[in-house]
Structure 1
Amino acid sequence: MAGLADEPRPGRRKSELVLSDDERAQLTRWARRAKTAQFLALRARIVLRCAEGGTNKQVAAELGVSEQSVNRWRARFVKRRLDGLVDEPRPGRPPSILLDQVEDVVVATLESAPGQDTHWSRASMAARTGLSKSTIGRIWKKFDLKPHLQDAFKLSTDPQFVAKVVDVVGLYHNPPEKAVVLCVDEKSQIQALDRSQPVLPMMPGMPERRTHDYLRHGITSLFAAFNIADGTVIGELHRRHRAVEFKKFLVTIDKAVPAGLDVHLVCDNYATHNTPEIKTWLGKHPRFHVHCTPTGSSWINQVERWFGLLTDKLIRRGVHTSVKALEEDIRAWIDSWNENPRPFTWTKTADEILKSLADYLTKLTPPATENQRET
């Protein structure tokens, strides 16, 4: 009897989950469409993975959710099919619009435009569907759709994108011993702007005010090297940003970094960084090692984040009556920064970055048709 007590209890048998072709196609659309509500996309991925034969534990680990969540949506789908993946109605007055109407609004918002306009408004979508503007607003809010907003992106076409990401991110996570890693770039065309009238200071209940027009007094360029270990910055200002100025900046770096340390530079493929003159100089200074970021991927260079701080805290709202005054303020700001430098914490690994990109590209790629899969 004691032996029987030690036998493992059999687990509950999971409900069989088999998809029809139409269900699989709809779930795939929900999972891959770039602007599907995140909760619906996740539920669709859970069901698709379960249909492939994954256990609750396996699916939960792969998708980063709890086993209880996987079990819930598996059971809901088996019982109610596709309708089981949308939120259950709450007690009270029955909904005044049907699920088909909601899907029509969402699909139209994502896949069409109103006549000659570039995007839908609540008024134009209400006119198209016969629903009220407030109802359109609630549907868009539920599915996190914001037709009035536009963001920007750029996918790198660099054939060595993967290798460069692995190289640069590897430096961030595992910097070499007896060396400094400097993120280098130039912020060019910084304008010395003066307002046409004095700036009115902030008062209780009223923000700082300034005229919309301004006077230009010339430009300067800042060459900067951000030390990823301690956050200090080597900066140098020049009125132009050619290879000649970049070489001068390399000389400045060479003098600033102790002789016993190697220097690893993270920089982009800008033309001034690759001239014969620069290559010759680097060849004569073997302690310098250049690591190029992928084309069109300035976000991977930490000095760009520092440039953003400089812009927000000094340049954007600064008032300067001459280039000299602008340069003096920039030098003072850098000196102040170096008195209390703050390094950035790079958290993403190269694998995580590449996986995020792959997931994004999957959403942009429409699912293959049956004929394409056979081919």
Structure 2
Amino acid sequence: MATRPSTGCGCAQVVLHAARGRSNARIARETGLHLDTVRCWRGRFAAQGLAGVSDRERSGRPPSYTALQVAEAKALACRLPAETGVPLARWSCPELAAELAARGITGLVSASTVRRWLRDDALKPWQYQSWIFITDPEFRPKAERVLDLYARTWGGVPLGADEYVISAEEKTSIQARCRCHPTLAPGQARAMRVNHTYGRGGALAYLAAYDVHRAKVFGRCEPRTGIDPFMALVTQVMSTDPYASAKRVFWVVDNGSSHRGKAAADRLAAAFPNAVLVHTPVHASWVNQVEIFFSVVQRKVVSPNDFTDLTEVENRLRAFEDRYNATAQPFQWKFTTSDLDDLLARLDRHTADHPEESSAAVAA
């Protein structure tokens, strides 16, 4: 069966060889083209000259959907389903395909076709991101104080060698889930297997204080969070050197009920005169470095959760603290006050462009 003639240098080679008086068989052998391809191109050149060697127009398969239908599909994907009367939280490609057919925008269309249309414009309506407006009127000064402490300054003055920065927080409700069948270790071409069914063995709170510049963690487990458990953590740290004899120890905390407001600052200062409580802005726990440590704990200690009881949870957390403190290095914190100003400027521009969103946030 003859192959379709190919354009380009293959056609040019056929014409050049033919001009030298060579046979079709020799041309096919020397160019690597099929004999029928050589015969076709040579005949067309002989009959039509250069016009015969150009590729002919091909109709190809006609498009199944018009550009208007594709545009309407993308427009539908860019609207919330609830706004169109569809009781869905998010669009999926199968749901979009069904809705397009139901509205008569297209006929029956596959989900893969809809996905291909959306991919052209990087539309992924099944994904979502959450966001929150800044509501703390003192967001910048509070955040600046924390970021300055990470850079070892306070009020524009560098911290001394006998001043320390502690980041503290509580990780609530770490459960002891005892799997009904033993966890199986990973094997060749097999991931670790954890039984879905489990018995509950209770829950505890894990409180941690992280020395930002020394990368040292102090932790304790408590039945629940509260003022007393938090002050027990403070006492655990402040009763040991170098913190007991330090000039100042800054405690960076969020606005949780265990250490909220001026009352918490006064309580801390009364118990330890060299301790200074520093709050992050409201809804800005991401500024607190101990949250990074908690993410490490979640990945390396807690998940997958398979503990026989709470004692095993406590023992695992204590052992991990020792392991972590033996090799840890300070986090490479790169978010500075300049980055903070850039962030706030972007938020101001967004608020100016979308005043209705800002009004809704204030009303909420």
TM-score range, shorter chain: 0.5 to 0.7
Pick aligned residue for 1:117 from 88, 94, 97: 88
Partner Cα separation in structure 2 for residue 309 and residue 281 of structure 1: 28
In the alignment, structure 1 residue 250 sits paired with structure 2 residue 228:
no
Partner Cα separation in structure 2 for residue 345 and residue 169 of structure 1: 13
Secondary structure in structure 1 of the residue aligned to 2:186: coil
Pick aligned residue for 2:180 from 178, 184, 196: 196
Partner Cα separation in structure 2 for residue 351 and residue 143 of structure 1: 33
Partner Cα separation in structure 1 for residue 355 and residue 133 of structure 2: 22
Q: Unpaired runs of 5+ in structure 1? A: 1-91, 370-375
Pick aligned residue for 1:216 from 200, 204, 208: 200
Match of 1:265 in 2: 251
- CA 1:310/1:136 → structure 2, altered by over 3 Å: closer, same or farther? same
State the Cα distance separating 1:362 from its structure 2 match: 4.5
CA offsets per residue over residues 183-213 of structure 1, 9 Å max, x none? 1111122111111111122221221112212
CA offsets per residue over residues 97-141 of structure 1, 9 Å max, x none? 776555543332222315222222223333424265334212322
Secondary structure in structure 2 of the residue aligned to 1:219: strand
Partner Cα separation in structure 2 for residue 269 and residue 367 of structure 1: 29
Verify the 8 A CA contact 2:203 2:223 in the aligned structure 1: yes
State the Cα distance separating 1:332 from its structure 2 match: 0.3
Could you tell me which amino acid in structure 2 is paired with residue 196 of structure 1?
C
In the alignment, structure 1 residue 177 sits paired with structure 2 residue 163:
no
Verify the 8 A CA contact 1:122 1:133 in the aligned structure 2: yes
**Number of matched pairs:** 278
Could you tell me which amino acid in structure 2 is paired with residue 124 of structure 1?
E
State the Cα distance separating 1:182 from its structure 2 match: 1.0
TM-score by length of 2: 0.68
Match of 2:125 in 1: 147
Could you tell me which amino acid in structure 1 is paired with residue 148 of structure 2?
G
Could you tell me which amino acid in structure 1 is paired with residue 91 of structure 2?
W
Match of 2:13 in 1: none
Secondary structure in structure 1 of the residue aligned to 2:239: helix
Verify the 8 A CA contact 1:243 1:278 in the aligned structure 2: no
Verify the 8 A CA contact 1:222 1:236 in the aligned structure 2: yes
Share of identical aligned residues, percent? 26
State the Cα distance separating 1:284 from its structure 2 match: 4.7
Partner Cα separation in structure 2 for residue 277 and residue 355 of structure 1: 32
State the Cα distance separating 1:261 from its structure 2 match: 3.9
RMSD: 2.9
Secondary structure in structure 2 of the residue aligned to 1:351: helix
Verify the 8 A CA contact 1:156 1:297 in the aligned structure 2: no
TM-score by length of 1: 0.66
State the Cα distance separating 1:279 from its structure 2 match: 2.4
Could you tell me which amino acid in structure 2 is paired with residue 172 of structure 1?
Y
- CA 1:100/1:359 → structure 2, altered by over 3 Å: closer, same or farther? farther
Q: Unpaired runs of 5+ in structure 2? A: 1-58, 154-158, 357-364
Alignment of 1:97-108 (within 5 A): 103-108=71-76
Pick aligned residue for 1:340 from 309, 327, 346: 327
CA offsets per residue over residues 68-116 of structure 1, 9 Å max, x none? xxxxxxxxxxxxxxxxxxxxxxxx9899577655554333222231522
State the Cα distance separating 1:314 from its structure 2 match: 0.8
Secondary structure in structure 1 of the residue aligned to 2:249: strand
Could you tell me which amino acid in structure 1 is paired with residue 249 of structure 2?
V
Verify the 8 A CA contact 1:193 1:217 in the aligned structure 2: yes
Verify the 8 A CA contact 2:268 2:276 in the aligned structure 1: no
- CA 1:194/1:364 → structure 2, altered by over 3 Å: closer, same or farther? farther
Partner Cα separation in structure 2 for residue 332 and residue 105 of structure 1: 55
Verify the 8 A CA contact 1:233 1:334 in the aligned structure 2: yes
Partner Cα separation in structure 1 for residue 66 and residue 141 of structure 2: 50
